[in-house]
Structure 1
């Protein structure tokens, strides 16, 4: 085995050891056994909501345990795989497996960094077109496709709550939920302004156009969050759902618009056929927005007391350049790739991982005593 390969395997063993200290496979196995026993109780489904919560927890715990066991087994097999490959005089397949294994272990390592109060939650994503006219509306729709493609590739269900279509092309805004554990923790690093530079497909003179779209990421609110919304504080308007070309459910007043009177926050939902379902979905988004507002106010108070750093990432966090050259560059992490098409098709894991590591470094720097580096 080549010395550099042996060194890399030692590093991966050390990384996986540290991951297992955090995730504790023995404790996970015990949790799986307990949840399996609970799930086997014939009376469990007498309370469907509780039963759903148990089965969801069981599925998540089983998936974590399987991933840990799979990575450990693959890592233990690598020396034998290289020994056989070297006997045959071709280590290409072994090298490919090692590269893939390294990526999987480093990706799981990033997950262990997600220890924030809401990181384990599902994510509500709001996308709004910004400066750039019709190109910005088209860009907002491209971003929505990027995130939904990423979710689809990673087997995460997406529920679209609302889309406001632009007149010529694209969307003015969209709200959707990405389901799954740690979706907020992973996707929250995408919050900010995304800038696109390209030859405009809407310009007869084929001129270069710069356009912007804003991405907002919120944690899904749970019953324990204590976000009370009084009925008297919310104005409810109903209207007919709409879509491009008259598509969608547009024969009844099923779409719902909620206006939170004390803050002026407006939320709409039209994806469901029932007005009641749309109102419930819109209320979840409204509560998520109010929770985020509460967090920002608390953060501002702490910052005023000198207890925290500035969490704002500025107005522009990533550039996507399609002309005159091909590049996607994150302005916070300096991660740069030369294949925008692949990124826009949902291949954003490298940006998510780099963003999480960057955020951890920022938090460590903010937590360090004045005059000390982290």
Structure 2
């Protein structure tokens, strides 16, 4: 990247930078976990030689502290599909339940926005339709960041909320629904191969 001609082709350069960023974000947690494993191995040796038992509590605390790192690496390993590395389009659609569902849809949208902000991802509002009384009918945002789609893809589906409705003067319990759709931003990298010799895909009337 320090070569004088590296940025001559901005599109290619950005792809290379993105690839390096992805590799760094993948390898860094692995290296940190290897270091943690080495430290735990040393603690195990201390426990074996410690007749007082004080080192055992330290070992247990260290193992518990390492669990989030292990889970993060396991999650990263599960995101093996090429599209998992892509940015994500998040669409939230209010379902049955009137104003409560519109409010629930907006709550979900804000939840995804806060999640993206906490991870340092960029957020772009692409489309939004406000409901009449409160909340939204639907909205679509783009979340741009390393493996955004991989982290979010499991959110696709119907989401339900049961609560005492703030819009019901009688204070009754309402069930609200909202549908969430997560799709990857494949950009211009997607390739579609069409085999024109395969007649099984050709319809003859």
TM-score (normalised: structure 1): 0.46
Q: CA deviation at 1:92?
A: 5.2
Pick aligned residue for 2:13 from 48, 51, 58: 51
CA distance in 2, matches of 1:224, 1:53: 10
Pairing 1:276-291 to 2, within 5 Å after superposition: none
Q: Which residue of 1 aligns with 2:195?
A: none
Gaps of 5+ in 2: 193-200
Q: Which residue of 1 aligns with 2:105?
A: 140
Pairing 1:1-374 to 2, within 5 Å after superposition: 39-81=1-43, 83=46, 89=54, 94-226=59-191
Q: Which residue of 2 aligns with 1:313?
A: none
CA distance in 2, matches of 1:46, 1:204: 64
Superposed CA RMSD in Å reads: 2.4
Specify whether residues 153 and 95 from structure 1 end up closer, same or farther in structure 2 by C-alpha distance, changes over 3 A only.
farther
SS in 2 for 1:225: coil
SS in 2 for 1:144: helix
TM-score (normalised: structure 2): 0.81
SS in 2 for 1:178: strand
Q: CA deviation at 1:81?
A: 4.0
Task: From the two aligned structures, give the one with the greater strand fraction.
Answer: 2
CA distance in 2, matches of 1:60, 1:156: 13
CA distance in 2, matches of 1:126, 1:68: 33
CA distance in 1, matches of 2:153, 2:25: 23
SS in 2 for 1:63: helix
Which ranges of 4 or more aligned residues in structure 1 deviate by more than 6 Å? none
CA distance in 1, matches of 2:169, 2:161: 19
Q: Deviations over 1:343-370 (max 9, x none)?
A: xxxxxxxxxxxxxxxxxxxxxxxxxxxx
Specify whether residues 47 and 75 from structure 1 end up closer, same or farther in structure 2 by C-alpha distance, changes over 3 A only.
same
CA distance in 2, matches of 1:53, 1:221: 13
CA distance in 1, matches of 2:23, 2:84: 16
Q: CA deviation at 1:117?
A: 4.6
Specify whether residues 93 and 173 from structure 1 end up closer, same or farther in structure 2 by C-alpha distance, changes over 3 A only.
farther
Gaps of 5+ in 1: 1-38, 228-300, 302-374
* Aligned residue pair count: 189
Equivalent residues of 2:83, 2:186 under 8 A apart: no
Q: Deviations over 1:46-81 (max 9, x none)?
A: 222222222222222222222111110011101334
Q: Deviations over 1:232-251 (max 9, x none)?
A: xxxxxxxxxxxxxxxxxxxx
CA distance in 1, matches of 2:97, 2:149: 28
